[in-house]
Amino acid sequence: MARRDDAFSDFARDAWPRLYRTAYLLLADHGHAEDLVQTALAKVYLHWGRIRDADATHAYARTVVVNTANSWFRRRGWNAETVVDAVPEHPLEPVDTDTSLTLEALRRLPDRQRAVVVLRFYEDLSVEQTADALNISTGTVKSQTSHALAKLRALLGDSITPTLEGTRHD
């Protein structure tokens, strides 16, 4: 057990920063992000030893983070205070000095659109990989991406995402 725990601890320490950043982008809250990654890594612990390949373990941990976040999103009322479905008429101004425009814009996306953006443009997953991670169709990923980018353009300006055609994310 001790050897097993040592190996897992090394992995958790190594995986934590990346998973935390992904969780923060998904949840826009440090406390929630920490809870999410802790919960996800505890789930990974349950399966530790059954996953041999280090890269696969990282991918598995990320999947657990996303699935767990999805589960939280499905809770009624989750994060309702920060989600703004309607596109504002004017470009965004930061609501506080500690939050960048990009993060604030991300916060204003609905949960699923934010998840799609994070997975595709931060984790650099393909449409298919994103669909698999979120357990939605590739068509939904594309439509959610399109809606999300439209909102980000409205919030941050056209220069942020002028077009999707021909990019590697498609």
Partner 1 sequence: MTDRLSDLLRDEAEAIAVPAAPVTSIVRSGRAALRRRRATRGIGVLAAAGIVATGVGLTVESGAPASAAQARFENAAAAPAYGTYGAFAAGRTVYIGNHQVSFDEAVKSIYYTSTGVLVRTGEKAYLDDAGPSHYTLISPDGSTREVALDMGDRVPATDPESPYLGYLDPVEGDASRWAFVVVDLRTGDEVARQFEHGAFTWGGWEAPPASLAGDHLWGLFDDGWHELDWRTGATRVVPGTAGAMFEAAHGRYADSTARFTDAGPVPGQWRVRDFRTGAVQQSIADPGTIFGDLSPDGRYVQVVDDAWSVDGEPTATERRFVSVESGATVTLPGGVAYGWTPTGNTLSVDADADRITVCDPADGTCDEIELEIGSGKVKLGGLSYES
Residues at the interface with partner 1 (CB under 8 A): 1-5, 8-9, 12-13, 16-17, 20-22, 24-25, 30, 34, 38-39, 41-50, 52, 67-68, 70-71, 74-77, 100, 102-103, 106, 117-118, 121-122, 124, 134-136, 149, 152, 159-164, 166-169
Where does residue 37 rank: exposed (0-12), middle (13-18), buried (19+ CB within 10 A)? buried
Q: List the structure tokens of 125.
A: 């997953």
Q: Which residues contact 169 (CB under 8 A, 6 or more apart)?
A: 120, 121, 124, 126, 127, 145
Cβ of residue 159: shortest distance to partner 1, in angstroms?
Answer: 7
Helix, strand or coil for residue 28? coil
Cβ of residue 68: shortest distance to partner 1, in angstroms?
Answer: 6
Cβ of residue 14: shortest distance to partner 1, in angstroms?
Answer: 9
